[in-house]
């Protein structure tokens, strides 16, 4: 019950700029229980991963593989390559499972971050662009960010996250697509779009701060 109460508080948080649609609003009570159950299940998976229980990875696969594969496929547009990326990411989670924090809510955000990172590396290698160093997963801010991802996912489903993405202007969506799904640096986006460097930087900044606000992760800066 404590789980339900905690999650209800998050659901009702006024900080969330992306509001549930009317259908979701009518289902708030059921959704709250479902979210609480979901978090219990996710935590149970992490705890079993730490204990090196293969069935935990299998359960995680059943829940996450379609999203992970969809992400890798969108970046690479190549089924076999996307398979390798997803396999590599799940293998990383398993190989490092004893280092996971069993108090942490889930590893879903970590898995998708790994898939994104590896898929972008593969994409850049394929197009003979220099590899980019990883700056996001290992830092302290990266760890805190994964907690925030869990927090947001507790409150917003994929549809709500997509609605937040839809609130971006076409110009902002374009630069986010090129950077996140195309793995392009500032200079590469400039070359692709013929935009000045300052415009690319400001559009990325506005876009990401817009998403941050929509996800209820603090004010823009």
Q: Of 7-15, 19-27, 39-47, 81-89, which part binds another protein (CB under 8 A)?
A: 81-89
Choose, by CB under 8 A, the member of 25, 41, 52, 102 that binds another protein. 52
Tokens at 171, concatenated: 């110009």
Told to check if 123 binds another protein by CB under 8 A, we report: no
Rounded (5°) CA angle 88-215-112: 5
Q: Residue 139 CB, nearest distance to another protein (Å)?
A: 8
Told to check if 9 binds another protein by CB under 8 A, we report: no
- The length of the chain, given as a count of residues: 221
Choose, by CB under 8 A, the member of 39, 76, 120, 195 that binds another protein. 120
Choose, by CB under 8 A, the member of 16, 36, 183, 195 that binds another protein. 183
Choose, by CB under 8 A, the member of 36, 46, 149, 195 that binds another protein. 149
> What's the CA gap between 163 and 167, in Å, rounded?
6
Told to check if 109 binds another protein by CB under 8 A, we report: yes
Instruction: State the alpha helices, DSSP H only, in the chain.
Output: 2-11, 22-26, 28-50, 54-76, 79-95, 108-126, 140-155, 158-166, 170-176, 186-193, 197-214
Choose, by CB under 8 A, the member of 6, 185, 193, 199 that binds another protein. 185
Q: Could you give the dihedral angle defined by the CA atoms of residues 169, 170, 172 and 177, in that order, rounded to the nearest 10 degrees?
A: 140
Residues in region 151-180 near another protein by CB under 8 A? 152-153, 158, 161-162, 164-165, 176, 179-180
Q: Residue 1 CB, nearest distance to another protein (Å)?
A: 28
> What's the CA gap between 6 and 155, in Å, rounded?
11
């Amino acid at each position: 019950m404590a789980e339900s109460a905690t999650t209800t508080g998050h659901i009702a948080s006024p900080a969330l700029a992306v509001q549930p649609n009317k259908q979701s609003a009518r289902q708030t009570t059921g959704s709250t229980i479902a979210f609480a159950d979901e978090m219990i299940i996710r935590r149970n998976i992490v705890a079993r991963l730490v204990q090196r229980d293969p069935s935990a990875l299998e359960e995680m696969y059943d829940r996450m593989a379609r999203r992970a594969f969809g992400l890798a496929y969108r970046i690479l547009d190549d089924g076999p390559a996307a398979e390798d990326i997803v396999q590599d990411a799940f293998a990383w989670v398993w190989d490092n499972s004893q280092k996971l924090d069993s108090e942490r809510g889930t590893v879903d955000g970590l898995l998708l971050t790994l898939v994104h990172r590896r898929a972008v590396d593969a994409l850049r290698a394929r197009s003979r662009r220099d590899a980019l160093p990883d700056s996001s997963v290992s830092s302290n801010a990266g760890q805190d960010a994964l907690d925030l991802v869990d927090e947001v996912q507790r409150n917003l489903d994929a549809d709500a996250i997509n609605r937040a993405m839809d609130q971006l202007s076409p110009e902002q969506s374009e630069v986010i697509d090129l950077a996140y799904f195309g793995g392009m640096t500032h200079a590469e986006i400039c070359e692709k779009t013929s935009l000045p460097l300052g415009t690319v930087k400001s559009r990325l900044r506005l876009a990401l701060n817009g998403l941050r606000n929509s996800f209820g992760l603090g004010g823009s800066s």
